[in-house]
Chains A and B, each alone.
Chain A
């Protein structure tokens, strides 16, 4: 039999770790390619915890449309402080990380909840 869910305490810790980090007012330019990054986001399995759009969920925090600056983003991916497993340069090269960051940066802002009848 399998363990279905992380204990609540772990979910709390995970959620604090990433999504709630404040984003800068203006995002710095990134050297990556968003289209390439989209493919890498899928092939590296980032979506498994963060969703295809980086929208986040119980397993991993929201990454888009507000995304950490590349330097902070890379630092966290290499040496995460919470539940996320570490992705070393041996597994995800720096260049690929830049593409993934570019993909996340490219995600459009969602529609306002007030404009969606089901969310009013």
Chain B
């Protein structure tokens, strides 16, 4: 590795001497570097003495103790060129060089350092941030420990096809590592810890190499299917002065993101022919809308066909009040369809199949014989084998390995060209039927929400209705919904804009909800939107420190606890097993509930600097509590209301 006249070895020796001197009573820190190291006095504890002796051991051959231009500064230049607004991190010594460059050389803007209490929080924040803002947030992870803490959240982002830009600190040169902890935090191949569930990684060996890899990583992450990337940043590269022999050739490469791949024109024409001629076409969308244009394009296609849309809610794909939104009637529509168009479906097989989780697992097709299936998904362009998030193999008739959002304009245009007057009349009749069905469903939702209206614990329908009453006249965004509240928000609220729902975690790893809410709220902050989070109790207990992050950085966010005092999905699994074995279910709470003692989430949040109220178990108390919390959020701070709820 190229070195300047002052290398890290010399710097560390100087620092070591300073440290040793500072441990000695009477030493003057400012002049310590010029003095010979002194042995620790006998009165010191053995541990302190050993550290002092070890730090003082190297001979002093210091040529210079400072530099004005460390490699980390250039790394910040590169990050600024990529237009990151934020970089989230729990601090760690393996990236102390670039950390210092970010806050001082970079003036802590673009990117601004966001202090997190867990790397899983950093990555999950970046995950949801992207789904609001449409551009990645950077994350710094500390060596072996930080990247392993981050791993589950990285896996969620991978499954959810979301780009997260991860910089991982490491110390490659074993002879340059500080004795002790730095060895435990160093690794030969850092990215190997997560390589199975990221799209690309590199370990640059020089600053020019870093520049190219940093820009390349951004481009790869942003090309559908989007996924996390990792660039390992060596400690010496960050901390050493920029060597004169490379200073002149340092440059930031131009970033040109790739245009998303469109479907083949022949396949688009075939899909259009099938859809126009179908009697009962159905459109199913999951991770379709990766930009605000996605929802508009889907509406254009649906209205060109007057075909029903089933939104599987991987993204904000389709307005909930649109009469062609038939998401609540998905089962019968699938069963009756003659053509099904799947747009970025996570699980096409599961969409058209029924699976029974009984003693003898079984499955059956849910579609009629002869139903034609059309798939458009960028996931067909990039697959990995070890982690099995790719689901059962779907037997489709037309498979476009392409980005669905990019393909929709061509497909809609092809559909419009094929529509005859006869078909248009049939389409209009279809539209009328679905308008009526949509109105019936909205009315049914209100009727069903009234059941258990005053119950305690509070029904999830009542909770959703109470929240909606407070936010419906605001520019709101449901940034996260963990814990499964039976989809009441979709049935009772009016979702119209792309940022009003962000989908879920992707990998179903519990612990995503709370940090995702904070990340989404961070993205919404500059737009003045009201961010709302329906928060599962089990999810928040994974890493509640993210509430402190929201308070510290003054991120406005209304969190409403869906506190059913259990890992409820697991209770049901235990019930299933106990019934299957005919042992009764009276012990299914063991290992699955979060009570005895009940968690006081209001006190937890208050301790982390967040305004909070609760627990609230009486439905009549909920509205006023939400109003008070909302007043705090409107002042630019987070607030939490703990609601004791029915299970689902």
Contact = CB atoms under 8 A, between A and B. Distances in A.
Chains A and B come from one and the same complex:
yes
Given A49-B648, A65-B451, A91-B579, A8 B569 contact: no
Most chain B CB within a 10 A radius of its CB, from A16, A113, A116: A113
Interface string A18-60: 0000000000000000000000000111011101110111111
Nearest to A87: B579
Contacts of B580: 85-86
Which residue, B482, B510, B572, has most C-beta atoms of chain A within 10 A? B572
B583 A83 contact: no
A82 B482 CA distance: 25
B646 A13 contact: no
B648 A51 contact: yes
A7 B579 contact: no
A47 B645 CA distance: 12
B390 interface: no
A71 interface: no
B508 A48 contact: no
A47 B572 CA distance: 11
A116 B572 CA distance: 32
Interface residues of A, number: 46
A43 to B, nearest CB: 7
B533 interface: no
Nearest to A49: B572
A64 interface: yes
B208 interface: no
B312 A8 contact: yes
B366 interface: yes
A48 B568 contact: yes
Interface in B435-492: 443, 446-453, 455, 457, 459-461, 465-466, 468-469, 482, 484, 486-487, 492
A24 B469 CA distance: 36
A16 B366 CA distance: 13
A83 B357 CA distance: 7
B453 A49 contact: no
Contacts of A58: 484, 486-487, 648
Given A57-B648, A85-B576, A118-B466, A4 B585 contact: no
A55 B484 contact: no
Interface in B545-600: 567-572, 575-576, 579-580, 582-586, 588
Contacts of B486: 57-59
A55 B645 CA distance: 13
A56 B449 CA distance: 10
A5 B573 CA distance: 11
A8 B579 contact: no
A42 to B, nearest CB: 11
A11 to B, nearest CB: 9
B330 A8 contact: yes
B145 interface: no
Contact of A48 (B330, B331, B347, B647): B647
Given A3-B508, A87-B579, A91-B584, A53 B569 contact: no
Given A2-B508, A3-B508, A45-B585, A119 B451 contact: no
B128 to A, nearest CB: 16
A110 B579 contact: no
Contacts of A53: 451-452, 455, 459
B350 A55 contact: no
A1 B579 contact: no
Contact of B452 (A52, A88, A116): A52
A5 B570 CA distance: 10
B509 A1 contact: yes
Given A45-B585, A110-B453, A2 B446 contact: no
B533 to A, nearest CB: 16
Interface in B505-561: 505, 507-510
B457 A110 contact: no
Most buried by A among B459, B469, B486, B586: B486
Contacts of A110: 447, 450-453
B492 to A, nearest CB: 8
A90 interface: yes
A119 B449 CA distance: 8
Nearest to B580: A85
B352 to A, nearest CB: 8
Contacts of B366: 9
Contacts of A62: 448, 451
Interface in B334-365: 334, 347, 350-358
Contacts of B468: 118
Find the residue from A4, A53, A55, A116 having the highest chain B CB count within 10 A.
A4
B168 to A, nearest CB: 22
Nearest to A108: B451
A42 B238 CA distance: 60
Nearest to B364: A13
Contacts of A12: 330-331, 334, 354
Contacts of A4: 482, 484, 504-505, 508, 510, 569
B572 A9 contact: no
B582 A88 contact: yes
B152 interface: yes
Contacts of A3: 508, 569
Given A2-B510, A59-B648, A7 B347 contact: yes
Contacts of B331: 9, 12-13, 15-16
Interface in A56-102: 56-60, 62, 64-65, 82-83, 85-88, 90-91
Contacts of B582: 88, 90-91
Nearest 9 interchain pairs by C-beta: A12-B331, A57-B486, A57-B648, A53-B452, A113-B446, A85-B579, A110-B450, A55-B452, A55-B451
Interface of B: 152, 312, 330-332, 334, 347, 350-358, 366, 443, 446-453, 455, 457, 459-461, 465-466, 468-469, 482, 484, 486-487, 492, 504-505, 507-510, 567-572, 575-576, 579-580, 582-586, 588, 646-648
Given A85-B358, A110-B452, 16 more contacts: A1-B507, A1-B509, A2-B569, A4-B569, A9-B331, A12-B330, A56-B451, A58-B486, A62-B448, A83-B356, A85-B576, A86-B579, A110-B451, A112-B450, A113-B447, A118-B468
